Amino acid sequence: MALTGLENNDLKLIIFGGKGGVGKTSCAIATALALSENFKTLLISTDPAHSVSDCLEQQIGFKVTKVAGTGNLSAIEVVADEALSVFISEHQSELKKLLETSTNLDNQDIDEMLTLSIPGIDEVMSFKTIIDFIEEGQFDKYVVDTAPTGHALRLISSPKMLDEWIKVAARMRWKYRYMITSFSGSYQPDEVDTFLLSLKKTVKRIENILQDNTKCEFIPVCIPEAMAILETGRLLEELGKSGTIPKQIIVNNVMVSEGCDFCKTRKSGQLPYLKEIRDVYSGLTMVEVQMFAEEIKGLHALNRLRICLFGTSQNNQNTKNQYN
């Protein structure tokens, strides 16, 4: 079976997730390469380990960069900390005013609070960066590589976290509003209210795209091993709570060769796990990827993986020739 439906014009955002080391980065890049044949594609890594640069053997970083050796593929590594500091510096005055008008903190306390990290806010900012890209509309497809499961889940649940924060801020504002109205009889919404409203819109925008399975698809990556299967189960359960329902699952590192005792043993050891994945996820299309003898590094190796994921169509064949 091959990955299907990703070329659908409505589908904008494709997110890969799963346990550490199962092949998310490799599959995300191979998918982005395949899509970039026909679509202007942006590969976005939210993994702080910068593995996209390592796998592509090209320096990417926190700036949209054309991937050398490809026609229409660009990439960016979104660093959550940096996304957060960009947000704080862009909205410094609104955040300061929110705290000044709503609390009894002095200036030094407020400066300290602004430098403190709010749990989860960095992931929120990563996702906001992704949504901003989608809304700018410079690309047709956005392929996201995430760090291991916990991170992907935080990313997916980020709108909820931001919503909680906005609620607290709105309560603080409400008290301020009440006070001003009591003193002066009326209240004019200011830049802090506008800022909170725009954040609320961000939450809605993120939720709307995550829950719209014509626009967004989450592809879990798993391997035929006990721990990975357990973690995939937890991942899919949590995803379901956010309304994100996958359609297909990649099972990577499947042993094909029986050429030696080692391979035979590995292969037969995988059989019960493959059966378990097939049984448990019978509703999902299962895309098996063989274990290669070499690691997947550089465009040539990524193209081999891409052929496993998408089959060898005419287009794939052209690209195969280009990389071979």
Q: Are 252 and 270 in contact (CB under 8 A)?
A: no
Q: Can you tell me the distance from the alpha carbon of 79 to that of 123, in angstroms, rounded to the nearest whole number?
A: 9
Name the nearest CA neighbour of 289 among 217, 219, 218, 222. 222
Among 126, 253, 270, 303, binds ligand ADP (CB under 6 A): 253
Question: Nearest approach, Cβ of 16 to ligand ADP (angstroms)?
Answer: 8
Question: Nearest approach, Cβ of 121 to ligand ADP (angstroms)?
Answer: 24
Q: Which range in 102-110, 119-127, 262-270, 290-298 contacts ligand ADP by CB under 6 A?
A: 290-298
Binding letters toward ligand ADP, positions 40-79, x by CB under 6 A = -----------x----------------------------
| 49-88 binders of Mg ion (CB under 5 A) | 51
Q: Are 255 and 291 in contact (CB under 8 A)?
A: yes
| 78-137 binders of ligand ADP (CB under 6 A) | none
H helix or E strand, kind and range, residue 191? helix 191-211
Q: Is 26 in the site for ligand ADP (CB under 6 A)?
A: yes
Q: Can you tell me the distance from the alpha carbon of 52 to that of 28, in angstroms, rounded to the nearest whole number?
A: 9
Q: Which range in 43-51, 77-85, 111-119, 166-174 contacts Mg ion by CB under 5 A?
A: 43-51
Q: Are 146 and 17 in contact (CB under 8 A)?
A: yes
Q: Can you tell me the distance from the alpha carbon of 71 to that of 5, in angstroms, rounded to the nearest whole number?
A: 21
Nearer to ligand ADP, 93 or 257 (CB): 257
Q: Is 244 in the site for Mg ion (CB under 5 A)?
A: no
Q: Is 45 in the site for Mg ion (CB under 5 A)?
A: no
Q: Is 257 in the site for ligand ADP (CB under 6 A)?
A: no
Q: Is 220 in the site for ligand ADP (CB under 6 A)?
A: no
Quote helix, strand, coil % in the chain, to nearest 5.
55, 15, 30
Q: Are 69 and 324 in contact (CB under 8 A)?
A: no
Q: Is 31 in the site for Mg ion (CB under 5 A)?
A: no
CA atoms lying within 13 Å on the CB side of residue 7: 11
236-26-223 Cα angle (round to 5): 45
Among 296, 299, 302, 309, binds ligand ADP (CB under 6 A): 296
Q: Can you tell me the distance from the alpha carbon of 21 to that of 159, in angstroms, rounded to the nearest whole number?
A: 27
Among 12, 14, 24, 95, binds ligand ADP (CB under 6 A): 24
Applying CB under 6 A, the site for ligand ADP has a residue count of 17
Q: Can you tell me the distance from the alpha carbon of 262 to that of 8, in angstroms, rounded to the nearest whole number?
A: 41
Q: Is 26 in the site for Mg ion (CB under 5 A)?
A: no
Residues near ligand ADP, by CB under 6 A: 18, 20-26, 51, 252-253, 289, 291-292, 295-297
